[in-house]
Amino acid sequence: MSEGQSAPETLALEPDGGIPNSRLPVLIYRGLELAEEAASAESAFAEHGWRGAWRNGIFGFHHFHSTAHEVLAIVAGSVQVRLGGPGGRSLQVARGDVLVLPAGTGHRNEGDSGDLLVVGAYPNGMTWDVRRGNPGEYDEVTANIAAVPLPDADPVGGTLAQLWR
């Protein structure tokens, strides 16, 4: 772990209707300098093998990715994000915070500060999909999630390897 970086908060989520979530916990890093600027977040993610970086926001509908894990750095503004589906947990994240979402983790923007900017990436630039929790796809997405390999490294140099194994 980087000097001065504390261990992440962890959040375990149960399946919620069509949102499968994951047996792996969500990791929540708070107040990281590397996440205070888009370019530094992209650079840190790439250094740890998380590629395919993008800059945007978080969709305002419940969704998840069944084919890739995802990291989200809040580099500007703040957002109330619901994790885990409609019955999941709502939390406030702001500039400098990083969420590491295992494949299958539901997430939704429930309102933001208007100046929200998120940098996202995927381990080894994995190909991702967008799923909305359609019950008819549940068997397919749970099979996809089970096939997603663990990342080689934590996107911010933290303790993912210990927490996800």
What is the tens place of the pLDDT at every residue in 29-47? Answer: 999 999 999 999 999 999 9
Q: Is the pLDDT of residue 2 over 90?
A: no
| Residue spans per domain, the chain | 10-125
Q: How far apart, in Å, are the Cα atoms of 111 and each of 19, 59, 126, 156? A: 20, 10, 28, 26
Buried b (16+ CB within 10 A) or exposed e, 27-65: bbbeebebbbbbebbbebbeebbbebbeeeebeeebbbb
The CA distance from 111 to 8, in Å, is 23
If we measure between CA atoms, which residue out of 127, 159, 125 comes closest to residue 53?
125
Task: Work out the pLDDT band at 102, boundaries 50, 70, 90.
Answer: very high
CB contact at 8 A, 118 and 45:
no
**pLDDT-based confidence at 125, cuts 50/70/90?**
confident
| The pLDDT value given to residue 3 | 45
Q: How far apart are CA 3 and CA 39, in angstroms?
A: 20
Q: Output the pLDDT for position 5.
A: 64
Instruction: In whole angstroms, give the CA distance from residue 158 to residue 27.
Output: 10
CATH superfamily for 10-125 is Jelly Rolls (2.60.120.10)
